[in-house]
Structure 1
């Protein structure tokens, strides 16, 4: 089984939770902040993943078997590694929104 196939159920769950969070944010009229916050967090996570996965693979801390990956790489890291931060950001954003996010009406800004 490949890492991509193993990740698909988690990606599906992340998309469902994120979509539920988006519905909740739309009802609260905070959808713009919901999507922009998710995009900013996801962008940061993708950059950090690309940098640190490549550094750790260069240092020899780990590698992936060629049979379990698609073969597409960014530097040394397989592209499948980007699914983990994407799914994490989807799940955490959705759960945060569904649990109420910021309790203050102004979105938590001072």
Structure 2
């Protein structure tokens, strides 16, 4: 009888410890993984005919967000949307994020501007 109680206490302690450690890992995961950027528009490698383009996406775990070294901002859900004017030909758009711990990540989008020929 005494052995069963001791085993039950040990099992309960192990269960609660695993539960606390599991929850802590789950809660800390967004902080441990660093900033995440997902650019939804334009697609990498896209060819466009208009120099005006809208760069859109989602940023998570971000304190600072930059589009071509110009600071941009997100809404409450982490979405961003910025207008940009492209140069004729090949363009590289760089979206860079910085988190609270100064960790950075960047997303490079290559876009080609081929203006329509004049009539």
Normalising by the smaller structure, the TM-score range is under 0.3
Q: Which has the higher contact order (CA 8 A, sep 6+)?
A: 1
The two structures have a TM-score, normalised by structure 2, of 0.22
The two structures have a TM-score, normalised by structure 1, of 0.23
User: Bigger radius of gyration, 1 or 2?
Assistant: 2
More strand by share: 2
